[in-house]
Amino acid sequence: MELKRLGLALALSSVFFAGAAQAQQNDRFTLRIGAMDADASSELTANTTFMGQDYRYSQDFDFGSNEVSPRIDGTFRFSDRQRLVFDYFQYDKENTTTLDRDLSYDVYTIPAGSFARAEVEFTLASLMYDYAVVDTDTFELGLQIGAEWAKLDGKLLAEAGPYRYEDSDQEDGYAPVVGARFTFTPSEKWLINLQGQYLDADWGDFGDYDGSISRANAAVEYRFTPVFGAFVGYDWFKLDARRGGRDGSLGLDHRFKGPVAGVSFSF
């Protein structure tokens, strides 16, 4: 008798979880609006050849305190296994620091001890087609392909008495992006989503720049109602940009990471 009761309980629970998971998986449209507490760090690198010798320079720098950056993503499901995924992220931060060494550019030299202000603005938007190669009542594994647009805008100002150096550069472009998604819906109210994407600048049009953009994120969502929910998670971005010249190359390895939180709307 106890075995029969246990079997009946397991059967009823499996039916409940399957129906609950499918309730979320059958959402036609989901929009998530949130923010990322972004911690940014960078490494500036340079490579050159002089009189047959290779030289490399690298300098780590950060942008002080974290920056709260907007983050939006959406999903439109148009069949059981197919969906469109949209992502948007923007980071804008400046920081002032004191130079620990001389900064030379052409005939100008800004001595150590003077101040320098750097500002960086990074925007990333993508639209991807997602196909669930594995689709069960509680688990999905999706493969993604689409297009991603990125923009990097940097400014530098250094000043010491009458000496002043100011420069800025802006570049944007687009390229194909590939990715993968893992979604687990253990119950009617809970959803766990893991996702990663990769872009190579050589695949698209980024002007004189080479490099890549990598991204990974994880989120846990709770549904208060079938329409309204809230989520928390963690995002990680890596921007590796390089620009070559006649005598060498200049590179920037820029990373963003931090927790995310927001609300979701599903229809």
Instruction: Kindly report, residue by residue over 218-252, the tens digit of the pLDDT.
Output: 999 999 999 999 999 999 988 887 766 555 555 66
Rounded distance between C-alpha atoms, residue 220 and residue 224, angstroms: 13
Torsion of CA 101, 105, 107, 108, to 10 degrees: -50
Q: Where are the alpha helices (DSSP H) in 26-139?
A: none
Beta-strand pair 67-77/82-98:
antiparallel
For residue 180, pLDDT over 70 is answered with yes
User: Residue 81: beta bridge partners?
Assistant: none
CB atoms under 10 Å from CB of 3, counted, come to 7
Confidence of residue 9 (pLDDT cuts 50, 70, 90): very low
Residue 11 has pLDDT above 50, yes or no: no
| 41-55, 113-127, 165-179, 220-234, range with the lowest pLDDT | 41-55
What does pTM read for this prediction? 0.74
Cα distances (Å, whole numbers) of residue 264 to 20, 25, 88, 182, 215: 18, 14, 15, 18, 21
pLDDT of res. 10: 38
Residue 47: the pLDDT is 58
3-state DSSP percent of the chain in helix, strand and coil, to 5: 10, 75, 15
Say how far apart CA 9 and CA 174 lie, in whole Å: 53
Question: DSSP code of 74?
Answer: E
pLDDT tens, residue by residue, 32-83: 999 999 988 777 665 555 555 555 555 566 666 788 999 999 999 999 999 9
pLDDT digits (tens, 9 = 90+) for 22-38: 445 568 999 999 999 99
Task: Identify whether the C-beta of residue 183 lies closer than 8 Å to the C-beta of residue 210.
Answer: no
Q: What is the pLDDT of residue 244?
A: 60
Beta bridge partners of 209: 243
Q: Residue 2 belongs to what H/E stretch?
A: helix 2-25
Query: Do 158 and 114 meet the contact criterion of CB atoms below 8 Å apart?
Result: yes
Print burial letters for 179-201: b (CB count within 10 Å at least 16), e (below 16): bebebebeebbbbbbebbbbbbb
